[in-house]
Amino acid sequence: MHITSYHKKITLLFVLAAAALFMAVTDIEPVYTDPYNLEYPDYFGNRISIPEDNATTKQGVFLGRMLFYETKLSSSKTISCASCHQQKLAFTDGKAFSAGVNGIPTKRSSMSLANLLWVRNFFWDGRAKGLEDQAKFPLNDPHEMGSYLNEAVKELQKAKEYPPLFRQAFGTAEITADRITKAIAQFERTLISANSNYDKYLKGEYKPSKQELNGMELFMNSPQPEKKIRGANCAQCHGTPKMYMELFHNNGLDTEPKDIGREELTGMPNDRGRFRVATLRNIALTAPYMHDGRFKTLEEVVDHYNEHINSSKTLSISLKDRSNVINGKNLGLTASEKLDVISFLKMLTDSTFINDPKFSDPHLKRNN
């Protein structure tokens, strides 16, 4: 009995010694990462997108947050991901086109980074399949971050704070381009916006005004004048609680678009002028609107859908022949109905999201 116990102790000591020797030789530490609790309402659904090789952990998320705000990732050392995605603006930048390291404007407007956990195709044309892939594009673009990713790896390796953070998140102090994009993706998956007045209404915690309720009803309805049902036809593309659908639509901005949209990626004529349906979450904060920022206000956006849809071969079928008037030529909302819809859209502003310290610049605290 005593001999068996003695042998167990000897075996355990041998295993521990071997593990210590292995880690000393290989510089590898066991990764004691803590799972990050992603909290969201049930009505968002569980069709989330997290790759098997990039689980969301507290250590990875913090590293990603550091990198999201890190100007060392740009060739000029002046631009970070947060330059085009500011928290106070629901992670947009308030511009039609952002300026990169060389001052040349980007081709399209910066999209809001909210509820990306459910998104599978990123950018206006859907060119990136997943957040890890998405992060590579601006980092490797000569006009955005200066195509500096490989050099940024060397910069971060020399910085005293980063090797320990990479060790905590990935097991070794080695910094690679792949680990940089994985960490940023982990942080971006935590950017969940789910505490607007609309969410509180869905949970029975907010009583909308009469104008907001009417705007909500109009938003959700498609017009059926023969049944005396009035609608703004918005839910065809934005009808889920997340306020977007994973679709690409030509929404009637131009008869002959200067920017051919998804067609540039697929080469298919049927994709001409089609762009990804953007979320309407925090829409009151994310002006200017559309892929080219052509509309400065929500009033202009509603006017477009109500009165100025341009017909083309690829116009979304959900926008064709939609009117509140039998045989009408446009949507036909009244002035007061348009204001009601905008009142509802403002219910989608999430002040918690834009002020949450978990999403703020961690460098400010470290430097103070």
Residue with the two structure tokens 């023969």: 226
Q: And the tokens for 87?
A: 């928290």
| 226 belongs to the catalytic site | no
Closest CA to 316 of 260, 246, 265, 248: 248
Helix (H, G, I), strand (E, B) or coil at 214: helix
In the set 144, 188, 212, 337, the catalytic residue is: 144
How far, in Å, are 107, 157, 171, 172 from residue 154 at the CA level? 29, 5, 18, 15
CA 118 from chain centre, in angstroms, equals 9
d(CA 6, CA 18): 18
- Cα separation of the two ends of the chain: 61
Beta bridge pairs of residue 275: 249
Single-letter code of the amino acid located at 177 = A
d(CA 320, CA 223): 12
Q: Say how many C-beta atoms besides its own lie within 10 A of residue 297's C-beta.
A: 13
CB burial readout 202-234, b (16+ within 10 A) else e = eeeeeebeeebbbbbbbbebbbeeeeeebbbbb
Establish whether the linkage from the previous residue to 105 is cis, with ω within 30° of 0.
no
d(CA 120, CA 281): 17
Q: What share of the chain is helix, strand, coil (3-state, %, to 5)?
A: 45, 5, 50
d(CA 231, CA 323): 8
Q: And the tokens for 72?
A: 């060392």
Positions marked catalytic: 144
